[in-house]
């Protein structure tokens, strides 16, 4: 047996740096402890049952979701039941020892696969690891005739960080419910637990707000390049929230204020300082605009919008943006952010904002998203804020891999797959300690990311690395080992029908 986290393995066992490490053990994020126990594998068959023994009724849904995935590719019935009655079972059970809010134990023996966890989230994450121990064809949406072995292992695992995020900008280019669900499918497989939706920007407003209908119907009508935009109805948004929740992902909705608001300014003249609505903006560069800071209507607008979004969002966070307010004076900016924070607090939600909000009075529980300026991040921590780490040089997945990348931007520099993996959220800002860090998040801005295929190309193969930085212990992590596990994911993406960038840095099989 060996500890996956240990630099060297016991004599005679596999080492994680060994290129011959079987693809069947290539779990991402790397579990805190993974021990191949030897002996014959468990074989999934038409007689396998899924047995749930957990006091939380939601355990059954976690088991059912896993069963559904396996039924598509195996064609087996895989009944989800309370009692075994089958010689061969996959167990979703409560654990004797506490495994925390998201941790789990996974034991695979020839007759039994047991996922044990205190919380249902742990059962779900155990099931995600189990997915990766099964053959890649497991991810296929059509029945595949083949054996379904699961190697004998013991895994004891829990995340390092509470926040493991991915952001999708649906404002610069609009992505609909189906596309967002596809994105969720990819991030969920890697135990990412926050989906930050950038729902408004100068180039589009993407959420229906009944009290301000033109935001969506007019402000959402276009996108970058002038192509037709679109927006989420309230029902659409709720469908996304529910789909994410089933995969233990909390949606973090962002309505970006007081800058990045041209779509709103174009929709309602009264939000402008001069009372005149500008035209819709379909360029890709940032433009310097601001809500009218001294008008009461601005705060009625903000309150109506945030109240609507809070009502549609079961999660505790409202992201208010706050970035790049270059057309707002520093004093006006502070005043505005302070007032918006009060609205969010009254709604019983926690504020999330980009690092620029550090100049305001941060309410308790405020999360600040670092992206470029360590001084701003440090200032936020000094005011009691906790940091979400999105360093633009490593975690901005709109940045090109290299000079040959046909889409994306490069203002932060090229970010190849190794760059995206080679940083540590817990120590990337000197003088900020890990206790002030919530975890990493990768934003995908979409100024020139137009299609599903574009999203996948920029997301894979970088996103599994971010998931690992957010989940796995630092000890023993190395690019040289990781890239082999990453390569082993490729047949899974192909089986899922998901595209990726075939980087030469990765030793594809």
Binding site for ligand TNX (CB under 6 A): 286, 323-324, 354, 371, 396, 398, 409, 445, 447
Question: Which residues have CB under 8 Å from 222's CB, separation 6+?
Answer: 203, 204, 228, 229, 280, 282
CB nearer to ligand TNX: pick between 296 and 411: 411
Report which of 286, 261, 282, 279 is spatially closest to residue 271, judged by C-alpha positions.
Answer: 261
Report which of 358, 360, 349, 413 is spatially closest to residue 386, judged by C-alpha positions.
Answer: 358
The string of DSSP letters for 244-301 reads HHHTT-EEEEEEEESSS-HHHHHH-GGGSTTS-PPPP---SS-------TT-HHHHHH
CB nearer to ligand TNX: pick between 205 and 354: 354
Q: Which DSSP category does 359 fall into? A: G
The tokens describing 444, both together, are: 């995908």
The tokens describing 300, both together, are: 């009625």
In angstroms, what is the minimal distance from the CB of 355 to ligand TNX? 8
In angstroms, what is the minimal distance from the CB of 310 to ligand TNX? 22
The tokens describing 83, both together, are: 């009692």
Active site residue 208: no
In angstroms, what is the minimal distance from the CB of 198 to ligand TNX? 8
Prior bond of 29 cis (ω within 30°): yes
The string of DSSP letters for 338-396 reads HHHHHHHHHTT-EEEEEGGGGGS-PPTT-EEEESS-HHHHHHHHHTT-EEEE--HHHH-
Distance in angstroms (rounded) separating the CA atoms of residues 472 and 160: 6
The tokens describing 373, both together, are: 């300026």
CB nearer to ligand TNX: pick between 396 and 493: 396
Question: Which residues have CB under 8 Å from 297's CB, separation 6+?
Answer: 270, 271
CB-CB contact of 89 with 48 (8 Å): yes
Tally: H helices and E strands in the chain = 15, 19
Q: What are the C-alpha distances in Å from 324 to residues 109, 143, 355, 457, 458?
A: 55, 50, 10, 27, 24
CB nearer to ligand TNX: pick between 396 and 471: 396
CB nearer to ligand TNX: pick between 21 and 407: 407
In angstroms, what is the minimal distance from the CB of 296 to ligand TNX? 28
CA 328, 332, 335, 337: dihedral to nearest 10 degrees? 0
CB nearer to ligand TNX: pick between 300 and 334: 334
CB nearer to ligand TNX: pick between 25 and 171: 171
**Owner of token pair 């969720």:** 184
The string of DSSP letters for 135-194 reads -GGGG-SS---S-EEE--EEEEE--S-S--EEEEETTTS---HHHHHHHHHHHHHTT--E
In angstroms, what is the minimal distance from the CB of 402 to ligand TNX? 16
Secondary structure of residue 235 in the 3-state scheme:
helix
Question: Which residues have CB under 8 Å from 70's CB, separation 6+?
Answer: 44, 76, 78, 134, 138
Alpha carbon 102 to its chain centroid, in Å, reads 15
**Catalytic one of 64, 179, 273, 324:** 324
In angstroms, what is the minimal distance from the CB of 389 to ligand TNX? 13
In angstroms, what is the minimal distance from the CB of 401 to ligand TNX? 14
CB nearer to ligand TNX: pick between 303 and 323: 323
The tokens describing 173, both together, are: 């280019």
In angstroms, what is the minimal distance from the CB of 169 to ligand TNX? 6
CB nearer to ligand TNX: pick between 116 and 260: 260
In angstroms, what is the minimal distance from the CB of 177 to ligand TNX? 22
Q: Which residues have a catalytic role annotated?
A: 324
């Amino acid at each position: 047996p060996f500890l996956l986290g240990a630099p060297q393995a016991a004599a005679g066992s596999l080492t994680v740096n060994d290129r011959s490490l079987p693809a069947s053990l290539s779990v991402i994020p790397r579990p805190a402890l993974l021990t191949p126990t030897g002996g014959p594998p468990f074989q999934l068959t038409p007689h396998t049952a899924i047995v749930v023994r957990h006091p939380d009724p939601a355990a059954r849904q976690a088991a059912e979701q896993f069963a559904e995935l396996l039924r598509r590719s195996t064609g087996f019935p895989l009944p989800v039941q309370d009692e075994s009655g089958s010689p061969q079972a996959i167990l979703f059970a409560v654990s004797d020892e506490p495994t925390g809010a998201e941790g789990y134990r996974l034991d695979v023996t020839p007759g039994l696969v047991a996922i044990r966890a205190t919380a249902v989230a742990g059962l779900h994450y155990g099931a995600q690891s189990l997915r990766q121990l099964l053959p890649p064809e497991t991810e296929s949406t059509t029945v595949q005739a083949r054996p379904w072995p699961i190697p004998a292992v013991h895994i004891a695992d829990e995340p390092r960080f509470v926040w493991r995020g991915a952001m999708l900008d649906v404002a610069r280019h609009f992505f609909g419910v189906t596309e967002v669900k596809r994105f969720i499918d990819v991030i969920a497989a890697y135990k990412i637990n926050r989906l930050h939706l950038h729902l408004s920007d100068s180039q589009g407003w993407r959420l229906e707000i009944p009290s301000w209908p033109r935001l969506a119907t007019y402000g959402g009508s276009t996108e970058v390049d002038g192509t037709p935009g679109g927006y989420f109805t309230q029902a659409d948004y709720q469908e996304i929230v529910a789909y994410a929740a089933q995969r233990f992902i909390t949606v973090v909705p962002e309505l970006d204020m007081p800058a990045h608001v041209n779509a709103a300014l174009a929709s309602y003249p009264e939000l402008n300082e001069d009372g005149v609505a500008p035209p819709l903006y379909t360029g890709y560069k940032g433009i310097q605009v601001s809500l009218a800071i001294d008008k009461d209507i601005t705060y009625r607008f903000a309150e109506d919008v945030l109240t609507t979004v809070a009502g549609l969002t079961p999660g505790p966070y409202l992201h208010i943006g706050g970035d790049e307010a270059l057309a707002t004076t520093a004093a006006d900016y502070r005043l505005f952010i302070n007032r918006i924070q009060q609205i969010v607090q009254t709604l019983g939600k926690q504020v999330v904002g980009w690092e620029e909000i550090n100049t305001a009075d941060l309410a308790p529980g405020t999360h600040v998203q670092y992206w470029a300026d360590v001084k701003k991040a440090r200032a936020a921590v000094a005011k009691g804020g906790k940091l979400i780490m999105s360093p633009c040089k490593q975690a901005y997945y709109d940045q090109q891999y290299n000079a040959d990348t046909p889409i994306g931007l490069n203002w932060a520099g090229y970010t190849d797959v190794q760059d995206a993996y080679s940083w540590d959220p817990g120590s990337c800002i000197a003088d900020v300690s890990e206790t002030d860090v919530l975890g990493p998040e990768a934003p995908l801005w979409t100024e020139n990311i137009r299609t599903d295929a574009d999203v996948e190309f920029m997301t894979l193969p970088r996103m599994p690395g971010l998931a690992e930085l957010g989940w796995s212990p630092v000890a023993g992590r190395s690019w040289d080992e990781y890239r082999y596990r990453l390569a082993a994911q490729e047949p899974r993406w192909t089986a899922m029908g998901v595209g990726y960038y075939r980087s030469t840095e990765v030793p594809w099989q």
